[in-house]
Structure 1
Amino acid sequence: MRVALIGATGFVGSHILKELIDRNFSIKAFARNVDKIEDHKNVAKIALDVNNVQNLATELVGADVVISAFNAGWQNPNIYDDFLKGAKAIEDATKLAGVKRLIVIGGAGSLFVNEDKKLQIIDAPGFPEEIKPGALAARDYYTILKDDNQLDWTMFSPAPEMHQGTSGVRKGTYRIGKDVPVFDENGRSILSVEDLALVIVDEVENAKFIKQRFTAAY
């Protein structure tokens, strides 16, 4: 299977790249600076601005699935607009390239706090203000993606405490949820970035969440 990975040098994307390499996929790895990507026989490194839809589409031709781990930069003062612009450009380029499947790494903010689905995490008291613009962009893009009837899209929302489980831990196990976080016995939703990569590559192989959003945690 041929996979195009956008954002291959980012915090999430670099771990997805490693998981794809370990499973012997053929990979096109896209990043602004590909010097950070180690040479590997299964990896073609492509430096490209995702907002150049035509050039991106040309490079995506022939892929079986596109994974977008695009991030406009948490310190970027224009993260809201830049994320939406980049995410929509990737979606458009995927369609223009004739690729059917697009897996997008979104945010946890659009998950609901509980099963009554009346309150999203981003609107709950105590949500960190410093990441709110990026979280709002991810939520608003999910609303846009849901209306795409051409692609077999999938949106993945990480566990809310994904950053709490990133110390090199790969348990190789996880539990799946849909619109509400997967909580443990202590009421926490945690998943390491290594196991997030496992979840995503499992979805590449198994295609269980076509035209759906899902989440995962321990």
Structure 2
Amino acid sequence: MKSMKMAVVCANGKAGRLIVEKAVERGIEVTAVVREENRSSAQNVIQKDLFSLVPEDLAGFDAVIDAFGAWTPEKLPQHSSSLKHLCDLLSGTWTRLLVVGGAGSLYVTPDHTAQVMDGPGFPEAFVPLAGSMGQALDELRKRGDVRWTYLSPACDFRADGGETGKYLFGGEELFLNEKGESVISYADYASAMIEEAINGSHIRERISVIEA
């Protein structure tokens, strides 16, 4: 059976490195797309800025995982521009695009009129970030030419949390585990992302994942 081929964009980041690690563990041939020297466990490397990628760079992959993140106010618009660029590169191809998303845009009402970021308890400092990621998702929904999947983490997304190996997939609405929590570690999120890349069929859908 042919080995799956995957590219991880921004593979040097915390989430990116863990996603690469989990993919390699599953026997996937991984190419890291990085601006600087590769610090992940990927077998292959494309050393290029995301915005300098051309269609030929991403040709032939079964899946491309977008682990891009921007945190400073002047770079927040790049959530939209970077995702648009990747979509343009993959337009009309069979390659799946899986996006490391945010939790702020998850819905908290059945009619989908209110989101997590709208709540009074949502940290004010994170509103701009959640808003920019939510806008990027809204723009992604309009792309009928790309086989995308957007994976939102739990509200409490723990960079240094332990790996449990137990997680639950959900849909567009915020949901809680049996302890009443919305939490997941980066490590468990990375495992869930790879599971979705291998087995999932959520084409042009946003899904979510929390620790069981």
Shared fold (TM-score greater than 0.5)?
yes
The correspondence of residues 142-161 of structure 1 with structure 2, limited to 5 A, is: 142-161=137-156
- Deviation, 1:122, is 0.9
Question: What residue in structure 2 maps to residue 90 of structure 1?
Answer: 86
Question: What residue in structure 1 maps to residue 50 of structure 2?
Answer: 50
Question: What residue in structure 1 maps to residue 28 of structure 2?
Answer: 25
1:99-140 Cα offsets, whole Å, 9 max, x none, are 431111111011012445331011111322222222111111
What is the aligned residue count?
A: 208
- Give the counterpart of 1:212 among 198, 201, 205: 205
Task: Report if the CA contact (8 A) 1:60-1:99 is conserved.
Answer: no
Give me the whole-angstrom Cα distance separating, in 1, the residues matched to 2:116 and 2:69.
20
Structure 2 length-normalised TM = 0.90
Structure 1 residue matching 2:54: 3-state secondary structure: helix
Give me the whole-angstrom Cα distance separating, in 2, the residues matched to 1:208 and 1:155.
12
- Give the counterpart of 2:116 among 121, 129, 146: 121
- Deviation, 1:186, is 3.9
Unpaired runs of 5+ residues, structure 2, are: none
Structure 2 residue matching 1:113: 3-state secondary structure: coil
Which amino acid in structure 2 is aligned with residue 30 of structure 1?
V
Percent identity for Structure 1 against Structure 2 = 30
Once superposed, which parts of structure 1, at least 4 consecutive aligned residues long, lie more than 6 Å away? none
1:67-116 Cα offsets, whole Å, 9 max, x none, are 111112x2x221321221112111111227x3431111111011012445
Task: Report if the CA contact (8 A) 1:32-1:48 is conserved.
Answer: yes
Question: What residue in structure 1 maps to residue 61 of structure 2?
Answer: 63
The correspondence of residues 180-199 of structure 1 with structure 2, limited to 5 A, is: 180-199=173-192
Task: Report if the CA contact (8 A) 1:174-1:216 is conserved.
Answer: yes
Give me the whole-angstrom Cα distance separating, in 2, the residues matched to 1:214 and 1:7.
21
Give me the whole-angstrom Cα distance separating, in 2, the residues matched to 1:94 and 1:48.
17
Give me the whole-angstrom Cα distance separating, in 2, the residues matched to 1:192 and 1:114.
25
Task: Report if the CA contact (8 A) 2:17-2:39 is conserved.
Answer: no
Question: What residue in structure 2 maps to residue 140 of structure 1?
Answer: 135
- Give the counterpart of 1:78 among 62, 74, 78: 74
